[in-house]
Amino acid sequence: MANPLIVEAVDAEDLARKSALLIADAIHLRPDAALLLATGNSPMATYLELAEMHGRGTLDTSGVRPFQLDEYLDLGPDDPRSLAGWMRRSFTKPLGIPDERVTWLDVDGDVEEGCARYARAVRAAGGYDLAVLGLGPNGHLGFNEPPAAVDAPTRAIDLAPESLASNAVYWGDEVPRRAATAGMDLIMEARSVLVIVSGVHKQAILSRMLEGEPSPDCPASLLQLRDGVIVAADRAALGR
């Protein structure tokens, strides 16, 4: 099994800065990098750091190809809970990336066909150069809720109770209960993976991800089966 590279940060601010530098390095290395991008709290400060780099002229995003990680189902096109809208607000617009350069997980119509179309587009693009992910409270990556095997495809899924509770921070009693997610198969095929983890509440699941037996019951633990994984975490999450 492979050992991920651990990038330790002192606190959340240091974590955002170090994570942003890792993503910026990937873009500098490959200006047309295909980036899979999580929403949620974990990467938000990181994206703000990247936007500031872009604003200073030290990060050229003119060739970057973003890919949406997941999307809630059964929402209207203008619903503020849309993860596509969140991605626009937090990443693509601040970094000057137009919608037409983004591969969206479009599941407004036929969900099964939308998922299949997205997976075909990822593979036609050559796969992800870097997958930027958070770590779910039950070990999910994207909305690959456990159990999720290494070959789990892009698909619709019912959200687990842990995810519903976590998402209630954002949406209160109006948490969407179904979502579509990029599959574990696509994530496992990414050239590199960056998992951003912050806070003492993630300490137990991060330990399981890094030290537990790889298992579909903790999808993040399956990253032990591949190379090219970086875990950027603050000391609280690492228990230090």
Q: What residues act catalytically?
A: 70, 138, 140, 145
Residue 45 to residue 9: CA distance in whole angstroms = 13
Residue 157 to residue 179: CA distance in whole angstroms = 6
For residue 131, what is the enclosing H or E element? strand 130-134
Calculate the dihedral angle through the C-alpha atoms of 194, 180, 30, 6, rounding to the nearest 10 degrees.
0
Check whether the bond before 94 is cis (ω within 30° of 0): no
Q: Report the SS3 class of residue 92.
A: helix
Residue 126 to residue 111: CA distance in whole angstroms = 23
**Nearest CA-CA partner of 115 in 156, 143, 145, 84:** 156
CA distances from 65 to 102, 206, 222 (A): 6, 29, 26
In sequence order, what DSSP letters do the residues of 152-188 get, joined into one string?
PPSEEEEPPHHHHHHHHHHHGGG---EEEE--HHHHH
